[in-house]
Amino acid sequence: MVTRAMINPAMMTWAREYAGFTKGYEEQLPEDFKKRCKSWEKGDSYPTWNQLREASKKYNVPTAFFFMKCTPVFNDLPEMINYRRLDVDSIYENNSPKLINNIRKSENRREIYIELLHELNEEIIEFEVPRLKEDKNIFANYIRDTLDVSLDTQKSWYKESKHYNFLNKWKEIINEKMGILIFETKGVLIEEMRALCIFHNKIPIILLNGKDSVNGRIFSLFHELTHLLLGKSAICGDDENTQEEIFCNSVAGEFLVPGDDLIKNINPGLAVLSYKSLRNLYNLYGVSEHVIVRRLLDTNQITRNEYVSYINNYEESSSSTDSSGNYLNNMIKYNSRAYYSLVLDAYDFGVINSLEFSKFTELGKNQIPKLQEAFYGGV
């Protein structure tokens, strides 16, 4: 005889909605699972224990939740200003289950990070919201002074055309100097979001879309940093129709490619929009071709007609893949080097055991030597 789990049907409904499978997203569930869930939600039938574990996994809640007598009333998703440009009938009017899961995982990792900082007696950096005039040059200079990275240092990071080294350096320095945790999403489409930021007085979060191009993530990193410096949480796409989004774009552009320096580095012997000229410039600063062309417009080096004509023919890939094939490298990308380094330190100092290490990192114990090798060259 098959043993059934006598759950509270209302909790099955709550779990589905909590995971974001509502307002059309429930259609993404497997058809057989969806039919069974409808029956369980009505109380017409009850799941087997294996089926309950399957529901627990899909909805990202513990199995014990389904036996609660009363449904929880909390909402653990942060309030964010929505700056995405969405069509009226867009499915992304509401956050997808994948995005909801990525946001919750980011907040959970932040809580673990703070707890481990306390356990290791490490300083927790207070995030400062400066009282600055909303001027792109003032904000760009503030960021450069705070990060203590000169333009010469930035330019020295060039190693390969995809600019991974630029991205990794910026992530590392922003975490070190400003205490921001920078994660990347897994499985969230570019059409839904480019990046988001969650403001906290201590340890704010920037969540980049892991499917975005490397250059796209670099630009989004400083766009979201500007939102945080304004003291706001935001979720962003490609919308340039609001003043704050325009301002954040202008700060990111001025910081990454300072106008005065750009003009100095234009080769007078090359047509400004020639492939060779643009390649030299975007590799110099570690940004996309699109950003360079936009900055040439901003600094009056090209006309708007030239800019529009170029952008209409612009074909640089705006997306990447979630994974590169190396499991450990992908996990470091999603969870951040800063977060993994702290968890590894906690393990090495005996603050946590191997089971806690695996729980916090989603890595098996056998990955510890590989992680140590990746971060410290082995032990």
306-357 pLDDT tens trace: 999 888 877 655 556 666 668 999 999 999 999 999 999 999 999 999 999 9
- pLDDT over threshold 50, residue 201: yes
Give the pLDDT confidence of 332-345 residue by residue, as tens digits.
999 999 999 999 99
* Cβ atoms of 10 and 68 closer than 8 Å: no
Question: Is 309 a member of any domain?
Answer: no
Q: Among 19, 44, 66, where does a domain finish?
A: 66
Kindly state whether residue 157 falls inside one of the protein's structural domains.
yes
What distance in Å separates the CA atoms of residue 48 and residue 38, rounded to the nearest whole number? Answer: 15
pLDDT at 237: 80
In a domain, 24, yes or no: yes
Note whether 131 and 191 are same-domain residues: yes
Are 210 and 186 within 8 A, CB to CB?
yes
- pTM summary value: 0.89
In terms of domains, do 251 and 104 share one?
A: yes
Q: What is the CATH number of the domain that holds 34?
A: 1.10.260
Helix, strand, or coil (residue 205): strand
User: Domain limits at 41?
Assistant: 9-66
Look at residue 251 and give its three-state secondary structure.
Answer: helix
CA torsion 182-183-188-189 (nearest 10°) is 40
- Locate 276 and state its tokens: 């060779």
Q: Which of 234, 256, 278 is the last residue of a domain?
A: 256
* pLDDT for residue 90 is more than 50: no
Residue 113 falls inside a structural domain: yes
**Which of 256, 277, 305 is at the close of a domain?**
256
**Residue 92 has what pLDDT?**
46
Count the domains in the chain: 3
231 and 333 inside one domain: no
Q: pLDDT tens digit string along 12-33?
A: 999 998 888 988 888 889 999 9
Question: Is pLDDT at 40 greater than 70 in this prediction?
Answer: yes
Same domain? 139 vs 241:
yes
Ranges assigned E (strand) in 57-158: 81-83
Tell me, yes or no, whether 312 lies in a domain: no
> Would you state the pLDDT for residue 315?
64
- What pLDDT sits at residue 318? 54
